[in-house]
Structure 1
Amino acid sequence: MDALFFDAYNHCNLEKQAAIYADDIEFYHDTGGLMTSKQGIIDATEKYICGKVTRELIKGSVEVYPIKDYGAVEMGYHKFYNNQEPDASSHPSKFIIMWKHIDNDWKITKVISLH
């Protein structure tokens, strides 16, 4: 699911991203704070990410653990590259994603982004 979501992220497929986010999404960003509006998250992605930033997963860093009667928690490291400044350095940042299994589908309910 991570690959599907971040392919949509890197290619600015906002409709696909919105379909994967739960309606009651909670997005905790270490510098941006808490966002609880799915549309607000999509709007911010369109404004600040689309065409400007690319996400790359750090190979071997992802850990996924099942959560009984809920879904799973995913943790790992990734880098973000500024497409407008290709020579800018990027450092790994930690992420935690809560995935909920709902009606044979997976939804992101919580994201913690730590830079």
Structure 2
Amino acid sequence: MKSATLLIAIVFVSSFLEMAAQATSEDQLKETITNLDAEYFEAYNTCNMEKQAEMYAEDLEFYHDKGGLSTSKQDLLESLKKNICGKVTRELVEGSIEVYPINGFGAVEIGLHKFHNNQEPDAISKPGKFIMIWQQTDSIWKITRVISLH
């Protein structure tokens, strides 16, 4: 009887420790992706094209509900420079980021953000949903896919 109780206790403690380690790992992943999101959109808001280019993967796919699909990293960067720089800023809806690991690849980030057009300062910005797929190679994270919905 004592050995069965001890076995149950060991299994319970082992399961608890595994869940705690997984929660810590998921918390660390969320912190990493949240920081990367902030880093990317700081570059976006300040028109740091070099930093934006550095954070995008070469095989980037950018899906925009209004603009369609872009599969050219260079075309996307040129469009951002021409249409966004100095005109539009992005604001994250605080607390909206969700992060999910993709085993052996990286992570999925889902959240809400607003865009403010300085050409229309009185326009009301409504939150839109975004999904970004992040790939980790060694310690380097790159944005491989973006879905932007407004």
- How high is the TM-score relative to the length of structure 2? 0.76
Q: Match of 1:25?
A: 60
Q: Match of 1:72?
A: 107
After TM superposition, give the deviation of residue 84 of structure 1 in Å.
1.2
Using the aligned pairs only, state the percent identity.
Answer: 65
Q: 1:45 aligns with which of 80, 83, 108?
A: 80
Q: Match of 1:11?
A: 46
1:85-113 Cα deviation digits (max 9, x unpaired): 11111000000000000131000000000
Q: Does 1:85 align with 2:110?
A: no
Computed over aligned residues only, the root mean square deviation of the Cα atoms, in angstroms, reads 0.5
Q: Match of 1:102?
A: 137
How many pairs does the alignment contain?
Answer: 115
In 2, Cα distance between equivalents of 1:40 and 1:49 = 13
In 2, Cα distance between equivalents of 1:68 and 1:102 = 12
User: Given residue 20 of structure 1, which amino acid in structure 2 is its aligned partner?
Assistant: M
- Bigger RCO of structures 1 and 2 (CA < 8 A, at least 6 apart): 1
Deviation >4 Å, runs of 4+: none
